[in-house]
Each structure stands twice: as C-alpha cells, then as structure tokens.
C-alpha cells in the first residue's frame, strides 16, 4: 500500500509538487507571521514589565461623590445638590512606605522591591526649558526590580550615589538642552526654586517620548529638590511570576487603603490591543491555510478522476473500498508531512534572516518559541489530511462496473 501510494505521487509529479509547495509555504508562512507578531508583542510586554516592575504601590486616590460627603455638611440633614460633587482627591505621598517594605521582605513570592519619588517639574539650561518627570530612585535596589541600568549608554547608575546633585538624563532631552555629561542643568520645583544638578550619565530606552521627559536622580537628591524630606510616592515590586502579578496585587490590596496595581492592570488597553492583533493573525492564518486545503482537495480530486481505470483494476483484484480510501489518504499524508517539514525549514531560515534586519533603534524582534513551530506543522498537516479525506472517500465509493461504463 505504501509503495503504491508513493508510485501514484510520482506518477503525477507536477500536481504532487504543487501540493507540496502549498503545504510548505502554508507552514512556513504561519511560522514567520506568528513569530514576528509574537516577538514584537513580547518585546513591548517586556519593556512594560522590566521598566516599570510587576506591581506598583502608590498613594490611594479617593473619588469624591455625594455619599463621600455625607455628614460633612449639616449633620443629620438631607442635602440636595444643584451640581453633584465630583473629581478625585489624591494623596501626594505614600504614608506607609516603611510598613510596605517590611511586609514585602517577608513574602516568598517577592524577588525585590524599591522605593521611588516622582513629580512633574521643569528642567532648563540657558534659554531652553522643558516640563519633565523627575524620578528619585534607589541606585542599589532599582536594578534588582527593573532593567533601567541596561539602558544607560554613558555613565553608571551607581554615580547617583556619589553626590546629592547628580542626575541621569535621557538622550533626547540632553540634545534639546544642548548639554553633555558633566555639564550642569537646572531643575525648578513647583515652588519656583532652582536647583543646579550635574549630568552624571545618559540613558536611551528606545522610547523617544520617555527619553525626552524623564530625569533620574537619587531619592535624597529628588527629595531635596521637591523640598519633601523622607517622602516616597511609590514602591515598585518584582515578583517570581509576572503572569500572577494581578492576583498577588489583589491579595496585597486587602491589607491597605493604598493603591496596589499590577503591570497588566495598569496596561489593560495595551493587552486588549495585543489580543485583537492575535485574533486578526489567527483569522488571517486560518484563511491562508483554508486556501492551501482547497488546493490540496482540488489536486487530489483531479488525481482520483485521472486514476479511475487504476482504481477499477485494484478493486477487481481484491482491494476493498477501505483500501482505496487509505491509498489516497496515504498520498495526502506523505505530501503533507514532507511539506510540513520543508515548511519548518523555510520558517526557521526566514526568521533567522528577518532577525538581522535593523529598524531605527532596534533589530526586528522574532519569537523563538518551539510551540509556534509545532502548531504550524500540526495545523497544515491536519488541514491537508482533512482536505485529502473527501477525494479519498469519493475514490472508495467508485465500483469497477461504474468506472468501466464511464470509460467506454
């Protein structure tokens, strides 16, 4: 049976080659398309997670509603609002920073945590000025939680600990100010007080907006500039498993009024976008594989029609209807498996080449997940077998008498 199936395949070389090419490009196309999109999504997700930590603990935000003001005015009286109160009452600093750090150190699922203080200020040099986000970090603990140290292209993060007036500035902001390392720039706080600081390093995160607006300093330096000694605005936490950060954040929030938010909760719009992209990718690949399946069906159906006389001979010498079905299924199986293997090679080589393509600021990102290759192989082989079943079933229904009558 196997030898006969192979003989039938080689008896129609062009048709068999077209089937093989269709399966190979179906598998290769799925691998390339999925690897590129998944790689890009993983890159963005990694930047979100590694730059901002898995969980952020910040001061609570209270929404003002009519109920929240019950008893504040005219106690015991019914109050009717012409315009209902609204808005949000924010607490500028984290009140229980010391409590949080002590608690986090005892939890086994926490890898590390670090303190931050952030505020919007103004940065200037000469006649140039720009509104920025001034972030105070712990140079020792920050690299344990985020990968910000990897983005520094000149200087070192530890330089922030060498003095109270050291900062690390984004490469785009430095260009705007016309400054360089070891130059002095001015930070102006909300009270209008000017604090000169020295540029100790330069970072480039690949995000132009971030590189234009963010200035890093030590916690002490930023507290002095903001005139808020001992104050902290947030604590950033790295956990053992980033995928379980949401459930862990929910558990932590039960012990405090502070706002505890995981990276996926904070970036729900981004995750919704990636899910939509994945759905579009799946629809596109389903359509592509469906076209390949129709091509296999048409080729095998044509082969059944052309092999009617051979089928009649086989049936007349003892081959059953089931044997005929198996014969044509074997042809589809051989071609689909061979095409799938070739497709794996095509996909791998194409991804290796795509990874060498340079984009502005970074290379093309490709996911090297073995599951992508397994899914690509299984999808095209399964679809090819399903497409082979109908022609094989039709071949099994043919009887020798009907075939002889048609060919007379």
CA distance 36 to 225: 45
pLDDT value at residue 222? 92
CA distance 108 to 251: 14
Domain ranges for the chain: 2-47+270-407, 60-77+86-257
Between β-strands 152-154 and 88-90, what pairing exists: parallel, antiparallel or unpaired? unpaired
Q: How many helices (H) and strands (E) does the chain have?
A: 14, 14
Q: Do the Cβ atoms of 40 and 357 come closer than 8 Å?
A: no
Name the token pair of 189. 């706080």
Helix (H) / strand (E) element for 33: namely: helix 13-52
**Ramachandran sector of residue 206 (left: φ over 0; alpha: ψ -120 to 50; beta: rest):** left
pLDDT value at residue 349? 93
Q: Is 190 exposed, middle or buried (0-12, 13-18, 19+ CB in 10 A)?
A: exposed
pLDDT value at residue 297? 72
Q: Which residue has the tokens 């042809």?
A: 331
Between β-strands 194-203 and 259-262, what pairing exists: parallel, antiparallel or unpaired? unpaired
Q: Give the chain's residues under pLDDT 70.
A: 1-5, 7-12, 61-76, 85-91, 299-301, 303-319, 321, 360-362, 391-408
pLDDT value at residue 400? 58
pLDDT value at residue 122? 92
Is pTM, for the whole model, over 0.85?
no
CA distance 272 to 274: 6
pLDDT value at residue 81? 73
For residue 219, give Cα distances in angstroms to 111, 157, 187, 206, 233.
Answer: 21, 13, 15, 24, 11
Closest Cα to residue 205, out of 156, 152, 135? Answer: 152
Using DSSP's 3-state secondary structure scheme, residue 383 falls into helix
Q: Do the Cβ atoms of 212 and 170 come closer than 8 Å?
A: yes
Q: Do the Cβ atoms of 296 and 289 come closer than 8 Å?
A: no
Q: Is the dihedral of CA 238, 242, 245, 246 positive or negative?
A: positive
């Amino acid at each position: 049976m196997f030898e006969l199936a192979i003989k039938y395949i080689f008896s129609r070389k062009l048709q068999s080659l077209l089937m093989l090419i269709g399966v190979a490009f179906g598998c290769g196309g799925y691998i390339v398309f999925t690897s590129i999109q998944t790689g890009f999504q993983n890159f963005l997700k990694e930047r979100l997670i590694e730059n901002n930590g898995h969980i952020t603990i910040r001061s609570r935000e209270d929404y003002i509603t009519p109920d929240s003001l019950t008893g504040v005015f005219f106690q015991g009286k019914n109050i009717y609002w012409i315009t209902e109160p609204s808005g949000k009452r924010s607490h500028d600093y984290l009140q229980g920073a010391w409590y949080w750090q002590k608690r986090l150190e005892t939890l086994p699922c926490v890898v590390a945590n670090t303190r931050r203080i952030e505020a919007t200020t103004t940065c200037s040099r000469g006649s140039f000025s720009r509104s920025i986000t001034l972030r105070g970090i712990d140079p020792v603990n920050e690299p344990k939680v985020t990968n910000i140290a990897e983005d520094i292209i000149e200087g070192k993060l530890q330089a922030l600990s060498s003095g109270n007036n050291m900062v690390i500035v984004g490469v785009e902001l430095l260009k705007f100010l016309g400054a360089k390392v070891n130059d002095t720039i001015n930070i102006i706080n909300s009270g209008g007080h000017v604090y000169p600081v020295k540029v100790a390093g330069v970072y480039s995160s690949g995000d132009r907006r971030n590189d234009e607006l963010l200035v890093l300093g030590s916690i002490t330096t930023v507290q002095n500039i903001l005139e808020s000694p001992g104050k902290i605005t947030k604590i950033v936490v790295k956990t053992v498993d980033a995928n379980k950060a949401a459930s862990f954040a929910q558990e932590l929030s039960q012990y405090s009024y502070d706002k505890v938010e995981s990276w996926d909760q904070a970036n729900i719009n981004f995750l919704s976008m990636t899910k939509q992209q994945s759905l579009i990718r799946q629809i596109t690949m389903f359509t592509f594989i469906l076209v390949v399946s129709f091509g296999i069906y048409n080729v095998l159906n044509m082969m059944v029609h052309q092999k009617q006389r051979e089928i009649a001979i086989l049936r007349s010498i003892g081959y059953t209807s089931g044997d005929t079905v198996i014969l044509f299924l074997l042809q589809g199986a051989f071609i689909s498996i061979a095409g799938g293997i070739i497709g794996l090679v095509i996909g791998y080589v194409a991804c290796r080449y795509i990874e060498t393509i340079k984009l502005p600021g970074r290379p093309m990102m490709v996911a090297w997940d073995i599951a992508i290759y397994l899914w690509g192989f299984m999808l095209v082989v399964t679809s090819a077998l399903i497409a082979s079943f109908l022609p094989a079933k039709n071949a099994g229904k043919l009887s020798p008498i009907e075939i002889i009558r048609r060919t007379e």
